[in-house]
Structure 1
Amino acid sequence: MGGIGFASCIVCLFVALYYNVIIGWSLFYFSQSFQHPLPWDQCPLSIFHLVVEPECEKSSATTYYWYREALNISNSITEGGGLNWKMTLCLLAAWIFVCLAMIKGIQSSGKVMYFSSLFPYVVLTCFLVRALLLNGSIDGIRHMFTPKLEIMLEPKVWREAATQVFFALGLGFGGGHCLLQLQQARQQLSF
């Protein structure tokens, strides 16, 4: 049974690695969103400042910004590309936030929980008001509430639903409980 606890801790580590990258991306976009106009609003001009960047013209301004500015990916897999310092600092900040929350413990997390549980509702309310003011919002609402039952017959839909269920109920989210049980078992064995 000890192996299950250690496996659970390893899965928790992998989930933390995954989500901290997403938190790092969110911090990056949050820091970039204070510019006017937004950097992902328009395609940048090419080197000669006469025409729009061809790669951006083929996709979109947001896609170009994501791959070329935010992630700073190289042109091919054979090119290293170097270290992306902006993303590295954002990832470091995300890990610092997580570590500080863990160091402070559950006693002081109550104040943080008030903010982190209420702030998303404020943001969602702002998004809702903004979305309702856009052209075609009524069409989008009508589309959202119009069921397409033929999609329920596709196996891909059921596979993705099962993946979400297994991820949400998976072994990795019982890590804290498993660690507590491991500590209690170790204390009982030492007596």
Structure 2
Amino acid sequence: MTPFLTLPEALSPEDCDRVIALASAGPMRDAGLVRQTTEHRIRRAEIAWLDDLPEAGWVMDRMIGLVARANREAMGFDLTDFGESAQVARYGAEREGHFDWHSDIGEGQLASRRKLTVVVQLSDPGDYEGGALELWPDSHVRTAPRARGLATVFPSFVLHRVTPVTAGTRWSLTLWAHGPAFR
């Protein structure tokens, strides 16, 4: 099993623009909530859930095929569904947007069943500084490529973070594929 997989051109630049426009027009929420408490030292971002955005169904249609391909080519997990909405995140320099080290698997009905995390880079890399997606799958921290439309796929138990955005705005799309709990 590879620690993570990158899939270039998961979304076209036009698709990335469409997702950003949908999220920008919809209700954006403070994403600092961690374990039912606002923790901006851990995460400072705004998020929109795809399920709350009209006309966003095409995004999940596209992502289903992408996840199936990634799982078949590299991960080999027992996947059964997408039990929660995909999330669009905005990390802005004006708020020093970031997300400290964490894994996406944990307590609760949905988080305990997360098997794969998919992060799609929606912003052009020249639109922001900082904001690197870093993964810590083993003894080495690795930085995911920043190409627009590229998807980074990794097991949900892998530690990862988004470093502080120091200029501009970083947009990303994140979703989780679910399956039976790890044993």
Q: TM-score, normalised by structure 1?
A: 0.20
Larger strand percent: 2
Name the larger-Rg structure.
Answer: 1
